[in-house]
Chains A and B, each alone.
Chain A
Amino acid sequence: MSSKSDIIGETGLQFFGKVSASISHEIKNVLAIMNENAGLLEDYTRMLENGKPINTELFKTLAGKVLKQIQRADGIVKRLNRFAHSVDNFAMSVDLVEIVAFMVELSHRSASSRGVSPEPSPSTGPVKITTNPFFLQSLIWLCLDFAMDTVDNGKAIGIITEETEGCARIRFTHLKGLTGISIDEFPSEREKALLSLLKAELTVDDNAGEIVITWPET
């Protein structure tokens, strides 16, 4: 049987790998589009060289499309950079609202491939806790991943980040498929190890269709 630190280390590595793979996939798509735009530019140039008139607006349109993809790639790389730097500090003050929004961005491809959409509620202000940012992200990712499997295709997962009675919490809502899920299935040893490290608690309310992560004292 693995020790808690082994489980945490393994879970963290898997998380890092999954996010990196997803981001590299997004970058590949951007490169593929730029490849086609450059190819079309080459096609038009060849046609011009062969004496076929080409409307110059087409070149402007193509340049605009390339610029759009550069901006998209820049956003992807910024996310990758932010994610990579989340391992820099073992403990620091973080805003749960921001971290949840970031995890929703990172899980976009995974959600999209399953036909579901995580939808964070509008923020009423920051919800600050001091914790390990990387493993916090890992825990939110695992909860989101599990939540995505409990809603039907085309459905939204509500995410509410709030501070009530001195507690910070993240609620994943509208999870109608929680009914019938065994207590052994979720949280698994991975989530339990992360919860212990992050000094958080997790409850699954199958009647309300909610998974709630709570930090008892903030």
Chain B
Amino acid sequence: MKILLVDDEEELVSTLAERLSLREIDADWVTTGEDALKRVDTENYDLAVLDVKIPKISGIEIKKKLAVKCPDMKFIFMTGHGSEDNFKAGSAEAGPEYYLPKPVSIKTLIKKINDVLRK
């Protein structure tokens, strides 16, 4: 299993990647949508974890572009949206089962990764 983490908060994705690797999940990270799109040209990933709000290209837009380049790739969204309404709005676009509010526990994230990859 190989995961790509995409979030403009470098310290968040780098630490998350380290924690996943300690659990024997191979995870790379990038901080921009452009880098995510470049990275999939040279690496194969089973799943991408995307922040919804990323400068320049939103997580939803990145997902659309990645899905064209990598048709088998699965996606999970993370968001710092605080309100229930924003959460629902985001869920409607991404699918509620693929949407995690920050901060997320590592157990919840891994369970979600496994659930999504099993589908």
Interface residues of A (CB under 8 A from B): 21, 24-26, 28-29, 31-37, 39-40, 43, 47, 65, 69, 109, 112-115, 153
Contact = CB atoms under 8 A, between A and B. Distances in A.
Interface of B: 8-9, 11-12, 15-16, 18-19, 22, 53-56, 58, 78, 80-83, 86, 102-106
| Interface SS of A by simple majority | helix
Given A24-B82, A25-B82, A32 B19 contact: no
A32 B80 contact: yes
Contact of A153 (B11, B15, B56): B56
A21 B83 contact: yes
Given A25-B81, A40-B15, 7 more contacts: A21-B86, A24-B82, A28-B80, A32-B80, A33-B11, A36-B19, A115-B55
Contacts of A114: 55-56
Contacts of A25: 53, 80-82
Contacts of A21: 82-83, 86
Contact of A32 (B9, B54, B83): B9
Nearest to B56: A115
Given A25-B80, A29-B9, A32-B12, A39 B106 contact: yes
A151 to B, nearest CB: 13
Closest 5 CB pairs of A and B: A28-B80, A35-B103, A32-B102, A36-B15, A115-B56
A29 B12 contact: yes
